[in-house]
Amino acid sequence: MLGWLRHPLTRSLDLDDPRTTVLRRCIIHSKPFLEKIYLEWYGWVASRLPGGASPVVELGSGAGFLDSFIPGLVTTEVLRCPFVRVALDGCALPFPGSSLRALVMVDVFHHVPDAKAFLREASRCLEPGGRILMVEPWVTAWSRFVYARLHHEPFDPGAESWSFPASGPLSGANSALPWIVFQRDRALFQERCPGLAIESIAVERPLTYLLSGGVSLRSLMPGLTYGCWRILEEMSMLRKLGMFARIEVRKV
């Protein structure tokens, strides 16, 4: 449907091709409007980290630059590619128990094929008071339309399970998964994950990410207009229609 808007750098590449991840990193830096969004997201992640000297691990680091905000960040990816230190499976984390002060991710949790397994591993690896910090797609009246009709990733807010069939490491997804786990099934989350507590969920960005074109499409707005759009979408009525949420979970 939006083929004419696809970014020329990745138009011919498969989502699961490591070259796509590398090129998406270039795309973020080449689009001022989109880069400003990531700067805000990364600033929030860095500001919410608990104190201490234990490592902070980022999942799905390939296309991002969060390591410029968090010194010593352990960057990881599900496939081997440049810019990351460790290739790993988020459902079987290779870290000792109670050894991490935070697990952080931006636009990654909804690609994890077994959310229950990941949360179990996160609870095992985090030290008491440690955090899971994530920015993820969210379900609202507006985002239902966008994700179902204008976005390439699978979107199934009615899914009964927290898992989905594993396909490609990056093409497999359910964009509604964070909302399912942390909102729709919140009581089930508390039952399944007694060692974790949801600290906060802040719904945001009904407009700016869409206007940026993300990492797959051309930008619809120049970077100079970003501030005006941010002021507009921070209005309380619009924020309720946000397409993303900042989610903070604490290890109790």
Collapsing DSSP states into helix, strand and coil, what is residue 140? coil
196-204 vs 244-251, strand pairing mode: antiparallel
Number of domains into which the chain is organized: 1
Q: Which domain covers residue 136, as residue numbers?
A: 3-251
- pLDDT one digit per residue (tens) for the chain, 252 residues: 455 566 666 666 677 777 788 888 889 999 999 999 999 999 999 999 999 999 999 999 988 999 999 999 999 999 888 889 999 999 999 999 999 999 999 999 999 999 999 999 999 999 999 999 999 999 999 999 999 988 888 999 999 999 998 776 667 899 999 999 999 999 999 999 999 999 999 999 999 999 999 988 889 999 999 999 999 999 988 988 999 999 999 999
- The answer to whether the beta carbons of residues 214 and 34 sit under 8 Å apart is yes
Kindly tell me the sign of the dihedral angle through the C-alpha atoms of 126, 130, 135, 137: positive
Instruction: Residue 103: give its domain's CATH number.
Output: 3.40.50.150
**Other CB atoms within 10 Å distance of the CB of residue 80:** 10
**What is d(CA 45, CA 98) in angstroms, rounded to the nearest whole number?**
20
